[in-house]
Structure 1
Amino acid sequence: MLANFLNKSKPINFIGLMIFFAVCFLTLNFIDFFNTQLNVNDLLQKIVILLIFISIFFIYNFITSKNNLTYDNSFGFYFFTLLMGCFSTIVDYKMLFFTIIYLLFLRKIYSLQSSKRVLKKLFDAGFWLGILCVFEPKFLLLFLLIYLSAYWHQKITIHTFSVPIIGFLTPVFCYFSYLFWYGNQEILTSMFLKGFSFKMSFFTEEKERIFMMSLLIITFFAAFLKSSKALLINNTFRRSWSLLLINFLVVLSLFFFENDSKNTETLFLVFPISLILANGLELVKKRILIHIFLYLFLFGCSAYLIFL
């Protein structure tokens, strides 16, 4: 039944999954209100966070449908919704803000498969990345995605090379000017000179470590399964798929710098993981296996939330 519902990409699927997320989110966040006195400010904050999540879902759905990153189904959005739900209880405004900027950045680089307004897209991609790097300089590694997308979908020229840099420097220069005006320019320089810490501890708690390791193993298996077919055909999807794999590996490397369940990179990983899983599942011929995997994924995410 679940596979039949998700087999087509229809507005009712999108609405249904959003309602499902909203119900789960409200249940998880408001269950304590039955035992404690209702705090109006906390209630309003939860509602605002829920609305931000919904806007994230709209951006995600636009990116995947506009750029044909999956076939005509809702598997990707299903995985994205469940994974975002798993981390919805530990997010804050900063993480959600970064996630929206990150998705707006991805929207531009994946849309480079179209030849319309290429320079504008490259400038916008650099601009959104510049905003991210103002707060977290380690996101500078995402610059690799801009040039790979330009190389695979268009071609590298002096214009396509320089425009993303100009876009990137625009918010950085504005922020530096603001700090310079108030005599705090050393804040920006100290941020970009800050070192990274590489950890292999993954999550501190065992249940978090098991959940994340299982998710990564399934993702790598799905990536291998899809790549064995997608990379054999020289078409637009092959280039988008290659970009998606690099997207996953780059964000995964950022995750290793500060691997904690409360880090922004955890939410960043949800985008490529959901699409990789969806594309891998599309290759399964037997419907019963698709049903089993979808329900097992739902059960795994639910168990993670229950025992969180």
Structure 2
Amino acid sequence: MITSIFSKSKSINFIIVFLIALLAFIVARVNLTGEPITMVFILWQIALLFVCYMSILLLNFIASKNSLTLNNSYEILLFSLFLLLIAPTTSSTDIILSNFFILLALRRIMSIRSQKNVKKKLFDAAFWIAIASLFYFWTILFFALILITLVLYSDNKLRHWIVPFLGVITVFVIAISISIVLYDGFFEILDILPGISYDFSNYNSIKYMVAITLLMSFGIWSSIFYLRNIKKKKKDFRASFKIVIVAAIIAFLIVLHAPQKNGSEFLFMFAPAAIIITNYIEIIQEKWFKEVFIFLLLIVPFITLLL
């Protein structure tokens, strides 16, 4: 039943996904927000919800444009369910915006496959990652994804290796200029002394343990088959599949280094995890097992609301 609904890309699927994302957004604000409800607050929350919706559409575009998944809606369904599974991921304005810019960068990185306008794409990817790091510093780790992409495509052109650094420098110069104009200081809007924390005590609750266990167990299990099947993909798209697994590893490193372990840091893992798990769902032959697999992913986020 579930597989028949999301096995093809349909308009109704986006409506369902948007409703799940809306529920996750509301749950996060009911449980985590202590601000007075004003018109400005409501308008800002609507804007953030719009960014979440744009992130979902961007994920769908990246997956379909680069043939990372088949013609289905599993990846956006999983992304929305992950938002509900760990609701605090929609509570941090900085992380929501940072993740959106990372997805914009990932879109440009993936498009390098065509080998057209490579310098522009490299600059754009680095530019978006640098912008993302202004909101959440540790996303600068995704810059390594650009360099790894150049390695995957065996790009030996020196100018292509220089361009990404120019993209980061451009954002750095603009940020300093704005800081001088607005705050009369060089580094007021730059988080040049990022914090690091390895205190995972905030995860010591049933809700977090269930959520993290499901996300990590399903993600790792799916990754085994994902890596095994890369060789079966078309040669032109293999690098794109490798980029996704590297992005997942970088996102995991961000979670480990996050200075505040409140759950919102997991948002960076959702897009690559959704693509990886979707690939596993697509190769499951037994229909009953596929139904059970998706049902667990569907029901557990709603169960965690009661914990």
Q: TM-score, normalised by structure 2?
A: 0.86
What is the aligned partner in structure 2 of residue 267 from structure 1?
267
Matched residues in 1 for 2:148 and 2:106: separation? 12
Q: How far apart are 1:287 and its partner, in Å?
A: 1.0
Sequence identity, in percent?
A: 24
> Partner letter of residue 184 of structure 1?
G
Of 288-297 and 12-21, more deviation after overlay is shown by 12-21
Q: How far apart are 1:255 and its partner, in Å?
A: 0.5
Q: What value does the CA root-mean-square deviation take over the aligned residues? A: 2.8
For the 8 Å contact 2:85–2:304, the answer to whether it is kept is yes
What is the aligned partner in structure 1 of residue 63 from structure 2?
64
Q: How far apart are 1:183 and its partner, in Å?
A: 3.9
Matched residues in 2 for 1:96 and 1:219: separation? 21
Of 265-274 and 231-240, more deviation after overlay is shown by 231-240
What is the aligned partner in structure 1 of residue 210 from structure 2?
210
Matched residues in 2 for 1:228 and 1:31: separation? 42
What is the aligned partner in structure 2 of residue 119 from structure 1?
119
What is the aligned partner in structure 2 of residue 185 from structure 1?
186
Matched residues in 1 for 2:10 and 2:152: separation? 30
Of 57-66 and 135-144, more deviation after overlay is shown by 135-144
Q: Are the structure 2 counterparts of residues 139 and 99 from structure 1 closer, same or farther at C-alpha, using a change threshold of 3 Å?
A: closer
What is the aligned partner in structure 1 of residue 48 from structure 2?
49
> Partner letter of residue 48 of structure 2?
I
For the 8 Å contact 1:132–1:139, the answer to whether it is kept is yes
Q: How far apart are 1:256 and its partner, in Å?
A: 0.4
The alignment partner of 1:82 has SS state of helix
Q: Are the structure 2 counterparts of residues 164 and 290 from structure 1 closer, same or farther at C-alpha, using a change threshold of 3 Å?
A: same
1:97-155 deviations in Å (ceiling 9; x for gaps): 11211111111112211222111110001111111223433322211101112222361
> Partner letter of residue 46 of structure 2?
I
Matched residues in 2 for 1:188 and 1:300: separation? 39
What is the aligned partner in structure 2 of residue 106 from structure 1?
106
Q: Are the structure 2 counterparts of residues 237 and 186 from structure 1 closer, same or farther at C-alpha, using a change threshold of 3 Å?
A: closer
Matched residues in 1 for 2:117 and 2:124: separation? 11
Matched residues in 2 for 1:29 and 1:212: separation? 17
What is the aligned partner in structure 2 of residue 137 from structure 1?
137
Residue ranges of structure 2 left out of the alignment (5+ in a row): none
The alignment partner of 1:249 has SS state of helix
> Partner letter of residue 59 of structure 1?
L
What is the aligned partner in structure 1 of residue 298 from structure 2?
298
Residue ranges of structure 1 left out of the alignment (5+ in a row): none
Q: Are the structure 2 counterparts of residues 3 and 138 from structure 1 closer, same or farther at C-alpha, using a change threshold of 3 Å?
A: same
Of 8-17 and 55-64, more deviation after overlay is shown by 8-17
What is the aligned partner in structure 2 of residue 239 from structure 1?
239
Matched residues in 1 for 2:52 and 2:233: separation? 36
Matched residues in 1 for 2:136 and 2:150: separation? 24
Matched residues in 1 for 2:71 and 2:112: separation? 21
Matched residues in 1 for 2:30 and 2:133: separation? 37
Q: Are the structure 2 counterparts of residues 185 and 71 from structure 1 closer, same or farther at C-alpha, using a change threshold of 3 Å?
A: same
For the 8 Å contact 1:202–1:259, the answer to whether it is kept is no
Q: TM-score, normalised by structure 1?
A: 0.86
What is the aligned partner in structure 1 of residue 78 from structure 2?
79
The alignment partner of 1:184 has SS state of coil
The alignment partner of 1:125 has SS state of helix
> Partner letter of residue 63 of structure 2?
T
Q: How far apart are 1:169 and its partner, in Å?
A: 0.8
1:9-38 deviations in Å (ceiling 9; x for gaps): 23442234224443x357647989xxxx98
Q: Are the structure 2 counterparts of residues 144 and 40 from structure 1 closer, same or farther at C-alpha, using a change threshold of 3 Å?
A: closer
The alignment partner of 2:99 has SS state of helix
